[in-house]
Amino acid sequence: MSRAENDRRYRERNREKISARRKELRRVHKITPPEPRIPVEKIKKNCVICGTPFEVFPCLDRIQCCKKACSVKLRTQKITGPWLPAVRPCLECGKIEEVKMSRCRECRSRKLSERHQRIKIKWTEEQREIRRQCALRTARRIQNDPQRRKRRNLHCAQSNANRRAQRISTKTERISYIKLLTEFGMNCSICGGVIEDGQLSFDHVIPLVRGGTHTMDNIRPAHLSCNKKKSRRLPEEYACLIKA
């Protein structure tokens, strides 16, 4: 027999005793009716984020925002500071451009490289061997895949040109070689011929050593052979050389 069934039978057998006991308890412990509630006037405030007026009870005077979204913004400002524009001076070098984590792209890359070098010193020989094998497997996969090999070559060309531009302290920006090929096609900017597969390279119209910049408006697709022949010459100088 369950416990609920036992309780039900006990209440049926002792109904009079239970009723008398409840009456005695009500007599001893008199229940007073609750006092009427006094109406409380709400406090009028303005949201510290959007300025919208709202009302709160006096016991919730610490509330400063009208809704949850404003409260999240206020909490973020208390943690990370006030909202700052994306384009502002870098904390490291002072260059004015779009920054993330208070640093420009070059300073972030340098910080990450320094951190990587610090971690690399702590690697064990086993960890070094694992990373070496992973790099070899990735290199083999890229070498056997023509599309990935093309992307790898473009990435290497961009990294080398960017490094050379930074070495001579000229203007640099992120280059999208896909956009350049979409705009100019597979046509050589030096000789005007069609660029065959395996002969693609990108030429700085004004060479970096002659004061050119590593930007989208100074880079054009060209034959690898034409690019090597042009070398450090300006377009006018190379045209005179061909005519001669």
Sort 203 into a burial class: Cβ within 10 Å, 0-12 / 13-18 / 19+. buried
- What pTM, to 2 d.p., does this model score? 0.45
Q: What pLDDT score was predicted for residue 78?
A: 64
Domains and CATH numbers, the chain: 43-83 (no CATH), 85-122 (no CATH), 125-243 (3.30.40)
pLDDT digits (tens, 9 = 90+) for 94-153: 888 887 777 888 888 888 888 888 887 788 888 889 989 998 998 888 889 888 887 787
Cα–Cα distance for residue pair 122/133, rounded to 1 Å: 19
Burial track 85-99 (b if 16+ CB lie within 10 A, e otherwise): eeeeebeeeeeeeeb
In this structure, what are the phi and psi dihedrals at residue 168, rounded to the nearest 5 degrees?
Answer: -100, 10
CA distances from 22 to 26, 27, 54, 169 (A): 6, 9, 49, 94
Cα–Cα distance for residue pair 217/135, rounded to 1 Å: 35
